[in-house]
């Protein structure tokens, strides 16, 4: 278990931060010569809240599904391909309920040396979500 505490949106007179704990699990696969062939990292949020940095008693807890959002990173040592997917932080704000951070799915094609993205755009407290966090924690 590791803790985190970082800013997610800058409001006019204060900042909204998130803090909590996450569990990280690594799985590593090896071939018959004991060489690594694949890595899978899973990050699972076990506790999270959003708060007004200037007035820490003002908080909103993590999403409608509760804590437990996460993402998965997979790396293939043979091809060099990388995959990112999942929702790391989800929050429910009355009248909004948007995903705060959605990684979508990222695929790195080593042969073409390009990064391909599928799914929703990567967003961190932008648009309505950022405004709603500011209003909720003002």
Task: Please report the pLDDT score of residue 66 as a whole number.
Answer: 47
Give the whole-angstrom CA distance, residue 96 versus residue 94: 6
pLDDT (tens digit, 9 = 90+) per residue, 66-76?
A: 445 778 889 99
How distant, in Å, are the alpha carbons of 6, 17, 41, 87, 104 from that of 54? 13, 10, 34, 27, 32
Total-model pTM: 0.62
Task: Please report the pLDDT score of residue 122 as a whole number.
Answer: 47
Helix, coil or strand: residue 121:
coil
Question: Which regions in the chain score pLDDT beneath 70?
Answer: 62-68, 87-110, 114-129
pLDDT (tens digit, 9 = 90+) per residue, 42-80?
A: 988 877 888 999 999 998 876 444 445 778 889 999 988
């Amino acid at each position: 278990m590791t803790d985190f505490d970082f800013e997610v949106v800058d409001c006019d007179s204060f900042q909204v931060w998130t803090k909590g704990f996450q569990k990280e699990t690594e799985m590593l696969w090896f071939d018959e010569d004991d060489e690594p062939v694949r890595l899978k990292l899973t990050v699972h949020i076990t506790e999270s809240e959003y708060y007004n940095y200037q007035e820490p008693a003002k908080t909103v807890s993590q999403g409608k599904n509760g804590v437990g959002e996460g993402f998965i990173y997979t790396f293939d040592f043979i091809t060099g391909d990388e995959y990112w997917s999942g929702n790391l932080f989800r929050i429910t704000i009355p009248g909004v309920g948007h995903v705060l951070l959605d990684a979508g799915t990222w695929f790195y094609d080593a042969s073409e040396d390009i990064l391909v993205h599928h799914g929703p755009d990567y967003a961190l407290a932008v648009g309505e979500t950022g405004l709603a966090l500011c209003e909720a924690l003002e």
